[in-house]
């Protein structure tokens, strides 16, 4: 059975102050997990986890990550602004973007972020951005800057990425990264341009379980590091294993053991890198889902039941708040708060109010009997959940709350209001319902 970090009584008390739906994150869970990550890689001197900001771009959560020793992985100007706002400095920021606008390179470079180049042509784009400076999205001038001394390249091996238990993903169909030949060319060119510290990055499979992904990815990247040294004379300074460590969304899935994963990477490090004199390479990670996914929940109230050809339970959240089920057919476990011990002897589609039939949090889900007024706890909504929200049908973003270690609850993002939603319509006067 999947555990909740809130009881029904707690959730009802919170809902009296902050109306449903809302996201809530568990500070204690986030901190304990972040400490396990640090411990798992403590054998590596330069280890750093760069929390993938897109997973949960809330400064209160980012502050916790920072306190736990993490940097930030950003992929847009606004994510860079967030990292800067919580006080991340220079090499504490990784800029792993793709299809990157020139001006964003200029922003990242002024912050001193480590730039991870997705494509070989981006070397010249970055060079131009450094020489000319640019204009940020708010219209501010960015001054020219020196070409970065520390730089990273993203690798795409092509074909299929296979591990013992089968095909994990299809890098050959993915838009990211450079070919191996381009990598060697890129490092040579970067060296000519004055770069002094080099890194290698790859992201080959998402939401992996079973613990083999990082060690296998590491083995491949370590071998390439050896080839890079042989062919170009460049000794890499760091290897970025990126994201992709998964979480058990389904109750029958086993959680990844990050200590075992760290030990697995260490074995590859010792067997491949140490004999070649590359033992000073720092390991970086850019996990998002694993860092916060299990420690967030979407709390929504049942407002409606409908009995037609199927049994429907209507809630006050919708796909605009949590798109993963509609977009990826993703499973999010549901607990009916207060009914944890009751038999799951009813079958429901749990739906939101969008005029879209894919607005379903669950289809044919076995749950205890549900009545309007019940609170549902949607599990594992701490990553790629609030942040993927949208405003279709004029649905507004809900609030985000933090359950602090001492049990207090703080509002870390208020819910959107109609005025927020209309705020970009500068051309028109004021929007409100006309009263008769």
Ligand X SMILES: *Cc1c(COP(=O)(O)O)cnc(C)c1O
Residues that bind ligand X (CB under 6 A): 52, 54-55, 73, 96, 203, 206, 242-245, 286-290, 383
Q: Which of 70, 318, 355, 398 is catalytic?
A: 355
Beta-carbon contacts of residue 328 (< 8 Å; ≥ 6 apart): none
Which phi and psi (to 5°) does residue 408 adopt?
-75, 160
Nearer to ligand X, 289 or 395 (CB): 289
Short-list 221, 202, 205, CA closest to 213: 205
Task: Name the DSSP class of 233.
Answer: -
Distance, in Å, from the CA atom of 286 to the CA atom of 315, rounded to the nearest integer, reads 34
CB 72 within 8 A of CB 95: no
What CA–CA distances, in Å, run from 70 to 87, 151, 187, 197? Answer: 12, 19, 27, 20
Distance, in Å, from the CA atom of 224 to the CA atom of 153, rounded to the nearest integer, reads 12
Smallest distance, ligand X to C-beta of residue 125, A: 18
Smallest distance, ligand X to C-beta of residue 75, A: 6
Phi-psi region of 277 (alpha: psi -120 to 50; beta: other; left: phi over 0): left
CB 257 within 8 A of CB 210: no
Beta-carbon contacts of residue 43 (< 8 Å; ≥ 6 apart): 262, 266
Nearer to ligand X, 18 or 214 (CB): 214
Smallest distance, ligand X to C-beta of residue 421, A: 27
Which phi and psi (to 5°) does residue 146 adopt?
-70, 150
Which residue is closest to ligand X by CB?
243
| Rg (the chain; Cα; Å) | 23
Longest dimension (CA), the chain: 81
Does residue 355 carry a catalytic annotation? yes
Interstrand relation of 296-307 and 141-142 (parallel, antiparallel or unpaired): unpaired
Nearer to ligand X, 205 or 351 (CB): 205
Distance, in Å, from the CA atom of 378 to the CA atom of 383, rounded to the nearest integer, reads 12
CB 325 within 8 A of CB 362: yes
Sign of the four-CA dihedral 216, 218, 219, 224: positive
Smallest distance, ligand X to C-beta of residue 393, A: 27
Smallest distance, ligand X to C-beta of residue 271, A: 26
Smallest distance, ligand X to C-beta of residue 388, A: 11
Sign of the four-CA dihedral 59, 292, 402, 42: negative
CB 299 within 8 A of CB 358: no
Smallest distance, ligand X to C-beta of residue 183, A: 16
- H/E stretch holding 62 reads helix 59-67
Structure tokens at 154: 């993203």
Smallest distance, ligand X to C-beta of residue 106, A: 20
Structure tokens at 192: 């000519």
Write down the H helix ranges in 112-212: 122-132, 180-192
Active site residues: 355
């Amino acid at each position: 059975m999947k555990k909740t970090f809130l009881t029904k009584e707690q959730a009802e008390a919170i809902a009296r102050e902050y109306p449903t739906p809302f996201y809530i994150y568990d500070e204690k869970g986030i901190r304990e997990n972040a400490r396990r990550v640090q411990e798992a890689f403590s054998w590596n001197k330069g280890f750093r986890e760069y929390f993938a900001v897109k997973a949960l771009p809330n400064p209160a959560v980012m502050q916790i990550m920072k306190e736990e020793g993490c940097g930030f992985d950003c992929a847009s100007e606004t994510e860079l602004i967030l990292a800067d706002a919580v006080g991340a400095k220079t090499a504490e920021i990784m800029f792993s973007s793709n299809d990157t606008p020139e001006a964003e390179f200029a922003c990242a470079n002024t912050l001193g972020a480590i730039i991870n180049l997705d494509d070989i042509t981006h070397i010249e784009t970055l060079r131009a951005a450094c020489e000319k400076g640019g204009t940020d999205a708010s219209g501010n001038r960015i001054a020219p800057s020196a070409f970065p001394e520390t730089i990273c390249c993203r690798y795409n091996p092509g074909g299929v990425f296979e591990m013992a238990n089968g095909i994990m993903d299809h890098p050959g169909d993915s838009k990211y990264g450079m070919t191996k030949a381009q990598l060697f060319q890129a490092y040579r060119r970067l060296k000519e341009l004055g770069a002094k510290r080099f890194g290698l990055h790859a992201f080959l499979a998402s939401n992996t379980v079973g613990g083999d992904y990082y060690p296998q990815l590491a083995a491949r990247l370590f071998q390439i590091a050896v080839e890079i040294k042989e062919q170009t004379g460049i000794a890499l300074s760091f290897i970025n294993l990126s994201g992709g460590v998964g979480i058990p969304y389904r109750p029958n899935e086993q959680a990844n053991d990050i200590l075992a994963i760290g030990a697995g990477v260490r074995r590859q490090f010792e067997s491949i890198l140490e004999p070649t004199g590359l033992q000073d390479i720092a390991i970086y990670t850019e996990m998002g889902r694993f860092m916060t996914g299990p420690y967030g929940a979407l709390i929504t109230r049942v407002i409606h039941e409908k009995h037609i050809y199927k049994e429907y339970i209507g809630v006050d959240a919708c796909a605009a708040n949590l798109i993963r089920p509609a977009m990826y057919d993703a499973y999010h476990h549901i607990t009916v708060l207060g009914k944890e011990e009751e038999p799951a002897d009813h079958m429901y589609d749990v739906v939101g109010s969008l005029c879209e039939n894919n607005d379903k949090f669950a289809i044919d889900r076995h749950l205890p009997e549900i009545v309007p007024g019940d609170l549902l706890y949607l599990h594992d909504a701490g990553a790629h959940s609030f942040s993927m929200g949208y405003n279709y049908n004029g649905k507004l973003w809900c609030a985000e709350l933090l359950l602090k270690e001492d049990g207090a609850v703080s509002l870390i993002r208020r819910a959107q209001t109609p005025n927020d939603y209309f705020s970009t319509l500068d051309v028109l006067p004021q929007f409100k319902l006309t009263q008769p």
